[in-house]
Structures are given as structure tokens and as C-alpha cells.
Amino acid sequence: MLQYATNIVKIRQKLVKHFRCSSTSAKPNLTDTITINNKTFKRDDYTNITDKIVCLAQKSLHTTPHHPISLVRQRIVNYFYKTFLNSRRNPLFSVYDNLSPIVSLAQNFDSLLIPENHPSRLKSDCYYINREYLLRAHTTAHQAELIRAGLDNFLIVGDVYRRDEIDSKHYPVFHQLDAVRLKTKDQLFSCENDLKLFDCDDTACIPGGPTKQRCHTFEAFKLMEHELKTTLVGLAKELFGNQVRYRWVDTSFPFTQPSWELEVYYNNEWLEILGCGIMMQSLLTNVGVNNRIGWAFGLGLERIAMCLFKIQDIRLFWSNDSGFLNQFKDDDLKSPIIYKPISQHPQCIHDISFWLPEDKTDSLSFCSNDFYDLVRNVAGDLVEQVLLVDQFTHPKSGKKSLCYRIIYRHMERTLTNAEVNEVHQLIECAASDQFGVTIR
């Protein structure tokens, strides 16, 4: 018992040190500031970004030569360069891959017509720096500012940040590529002078199909839809081969109407690879564009890289292991690379059960994403998966108990029991310190 108590004291000291040596503290601190990429911000009651995320915000995998994420970016950019040429046979699209991931709520949400009560704004889903800034949750956040700056055809590539579960397909930072193409009446209809882009007429809605925006003429809408879909099917074929099976699925986004997802059939299942649509005309008028109609799309680079290179675990993209990185050194972008797994080391599984304090039993004050961030912050990439395996409310006391299963596995070596035990105890201590939970 005494032995256990002295161990806990030691672990607490470690935990204090762990958090003291980094720029942010484990507990939210309302008076403090936070520094990310050399910029300092005031913390407030919205701040939920952790040290781990601040560190990840410094890497630039999408522009690191030979990195698989960068290879997929290059393949897509090259496809756009060769598909869209101006009259002098130069690429029409320009590429922005170096924009700061720190954006305002106005950029990430308001400029894209995302309503105040939209779930994507929730604190449980985004990494907020404070009430004014966050780490972008999608590269779409930059569309409006680039259009306002006068661009008509552009791609945006960058790292994006979302609070999510921990498993082989999710990581709090991943990479997206967005595209925008705007066309004037003359560009869309060439010599057909009597056709118009805009008309306040909705007689041409397709029965049962996705609805065009009222302000667009049927001809303008159909030509844009056609160009968007042929471009994206061409892209899917470029990436997955000419034989790829694909299908369009209707969906909705606040910034496009109509909106679609493109799915490809891969490994015996339908896989959603991108979202797209005809841009909301009010998004364009809000940034001063009155004479153009636009299409746009956005896709995630990790998902495509995982398929193309047969990479099973998303953490590998962040690995410095040369056994992984050297497999992508081939300079020929078109050559198929199939990643050969570096040896799989054994898993080590531990459960953690705790009572929530009474003031946190409602779902608003504690969510699983809070716990996942704590695990990431303490254990980093040692954790392969976290699962909520049990929850119940005590019938008499009304107290709520949660049990999470934490699956530890290092990607490059076998973990010892001793080190996993230590990390697991650090997680228990951090959970009781940060959330006031009682470990069972």
C-alpha cells in the first residue's frame, strides 16, 4: 500500500514536470497566453488546444519531399495543371499550400455561411485557440479570402485540425485539398450570346433530384455540374486507375447547393473520397463577385494515400522511421508504391474506469473527445486506439461511471509492461487532476 502511495507521488511529480516543460498547462488557465507558430494569443473559456496539437502544427507533411501525403498532393496538382490550360497553354490553377492554419471563426465558419448553431462549430469538435481564433477545421476556410483577392481558379492544400476518436483512421491533424473554379458568362457559354448565368426562376428544378439555386439559370447550372463531375471522375481515374468504379451521392454543405459526394469502390466497399458542389451565390456576392458562377470541392489526402499505398495506420504518416519513409523515395510519381508494413509489434491493453464528479454528469461538461485529447497529450502516438467500452449511472447515487479501453502499441518497437504501466498511471493521474474524476 505504502509502495503504491510513493509510486503515485512519483508519478504526480512526473506529471507536473511533463506539463510544466511545455508552453500550455494541463488545466485551462483563463489569464494565460498561448504561443503557436510564434504568434501569441490570449486564452479564454473557449481555449481547448493542447501541447500535443501545438507541436503537430509545426510540421508540414504536405510539402515534405517524398512524404506519401506530399506525393498525393503532387499527383492531384499535376492533374489540374495538365487538365486546365489558359490560351497561352499555361496552367490555369494556382496553388496555395503555405497559408497559416490559424484562422478566425469568421474565416472557418461565417464566410462559408455556416450557421451559428451548426454542429461543426462545437467546442467538442474543434481546436479553439480562443473565442476568435481556431486551427482551421477545413481548407475551405480560405476560399472566400482568395476569391476576394481576385482569384478565379485555385487549389488550397494544408493541414486541418479536428477533435475526434482515436483509431487507425483518425488523427487530430490531417490534410485536405480544396479547389475553386469561377466562370463568367462568356467563359461558360463561349459564343452563345443569348444565354444567361442568372435568372430568378425556379421552374427548372429537377423533380426528385438535387435542387439548383434559384438565382442560377438551368443552362448555367447544368454546364457547371457537368464540368465539375467530369473533372472529378477524371481525377478519380488518374488516382485509382481507369477501371475504377464510382458513384455520386447527394449530400448537403452550407457553402454549396446542390452538393454531392464522390464514392469509389475500393477493397470491397464504397469509400467516400470527396465533397463538392455548386458554390452558394451569396458566398460569392459577399466577397464582391457578381458576375461569376462557381464550383468547388474538398478532399482528404490521408484517406487517398492510405488506399493508394495500402497504409493501415494513420499514425505512420507522422513517423520518422526510415523503414517507412524510404519506401516513398521513388521519383516517378506514377509508379505504384505498395507500402510493406514495418513489423507489427504486440499490443498492450489496459482499461481505465472512473466516476465522473457530480457536476460533470451531464453530457455538456464532459465528452469523450476531452478524454481522447488528454490521452494524446500524455501518451502521444503510443496509443493505437481508445474505446468507450462501458458506461452506467448508479441507481442510488446518480453518479456516472465510464470505462475506456486503451490499446497501446508502438509502431517501431515492442513496449515493455513497465513503461506502459507508467504511462497508464500518468493518464489516470492526469484524468483525476483535469476532470476531477475518481479512478475506480
Taking the complex as a whole, the smallest distance from the CB of residue 261 to ligand DAH amounts, in Å, to 8
Asked if 111 interacts with ligand DAH (CB under 6 A), we say no
Taking the complex as a whole, the smallest distance from the CB of residue 284 to ligand DAH amounts, in Å, to 13
- The residue behind cell 508519478 is 11
Taking the complex as a whole, the smallest distance from the CB of residue 303 to ligand DAH amounts, in Å, to 11
Binding window for ligand DAH (CB under 6 A); candidates: 3-11, 185-193, 239-247, 290-298: 290-298
Query: Which of 12/229 has CB closer to ligand DAH?
Result: 229
Phi, psi for residue 113 in degrees, rounded to 5 = 65, 25
Q: Is 318 exposed, middle or buried (0-12, 13-18, 19+ CB in 10 A)?
A: middle
**Binds ligand DAH (CB under 6 A): choice among 101, 158, 172, 277:** 277
Binding window for ligand DAH (CB under 6 A); candidates: 66-74, 194-202, 223-231, 271-279: 271-279
Taking the complex as a whole, the smallest distance from the CB of residue 251 to ligand DAH amounts, in Å, to 8
Asked if 276 interacts with ligand DAH (CB under 6 A), we say yes
**Binds ligand DAH (CB under 6 A): choice among 155, 296, 306, 427:** 296
Asked if 101 interacts with ligand DAH (CB under 6 A), we say no
Taking the complex as a whole, the smallest distance from the CB of residue 113 to ligand DAH amounts, in Å, to 12
**What is the number of the residue whose Cβ is closest to ligand DAH?**
298
Binding window for ligand DAH (CB under 6 A); candidates: 26-34, 42-50, 221-229, 251-259: 251-259
* Cell numbers for 377: 497529450
**Binds ligand DAH (CB under 6 A): choice among 298, 304, 376, 427:** 298
β-pair partners for 338: none
CA diameter of the chain = 89
Cα–Cα distance, 148 to 316 (Å, whole number): 38
**Binds ligand DAH (CB under 6 A): choice among 253, 324, 371, 404:** 253
Binding window for ligand DAH (CB under 6 A); candidates: 77-85, 231-239, 282-290, 295-303: 295-303
β-pair partners for 348: 408
* Cell numbers for 334: 506514377
**Binds ligand DAH (CB under 6 A): choice among 138, 183, 315, 424:** 138
Torsion from C-alpha of 301, 306, 308, 311, nearest 10 degrees: 150
Query: Which residues fall within 8 angstroms of residue 428, CB to CB, at 6 or more apart?
Result: 352, 354, 439
**Binds ligand DAH (CB under 6 A): choice among 108, 140, 213, 368:** 140
Binding window for ligand DAH (CB under 6 A); candidates: 20-28, 291-299, 313-321, 332-340: 291-299
Q: Which helix (H) or strand (E) holds 184?
A: strand 173-184
Asked if 275 interacts with ligand DAH (CB under 6 A), we say yes
Query: Which of 101/277 has CB closer to ligand DAH?
Result: 277
Q: Using a CB cutoff of 8 Å and minimum separation of 24, what contacts does 182-186 make?
A: 182/147, 182/152, 182/153, 182/279, 182/284, 182/289, 182/292, 182/293, 182/294, 183/152, 183/224, 183/292, 183/293, 183/294, 184/291, 184/292, 185/220, 185/291
Q: How many residues bind ligand DAH (CB under 6 A)?
A: 12
Find out whether 214 and 202 touch, Cβ atoms under 8 Å: yes
Taking the complex as a whole, the smallest distance from the CB of residue 254 to ligand DAH amounts, in Å, to 10
Query: Which of 254/436 has CB closer to ligand DAH?
Result: 254
Find out whether 220 and 186 touch, Cβ atoms under 8 Å: no
CA 320 vs CA 67, 272, 317, 360: distances in Å: 10, 29, 8, 39
Query: Which of 239/383 has CB closer to ligand DAH?
Result: 239
Cα–Cα distance, 351 to 391 (Å, whole number): 13
Taking the complex as a whole, the smallest distance from the CB of residue 211 to ligand DAH amounts, in Å, to 16
Task: Centre a 10 Å sphere on the Cβ of residue 198 and count the other Cβ atoms it contains.
Answer: 16
Query: Which of 19/127 has CB closer to ligand DAH?
Result: 127
End-to-end alpha carbon distance in the chain? 16
Asked if 185 interacts with ligand DAH (CB under 6 A), we say no
**Binds ligand DAH (CB under 6 A): choice among 178, 225, 302, 313:** 178
Q: Where on the chain is the footprint of ligand DAH (CB under 6 A)?
A: 138, 140, 178, 253, 255-256, 275-277, 296-298
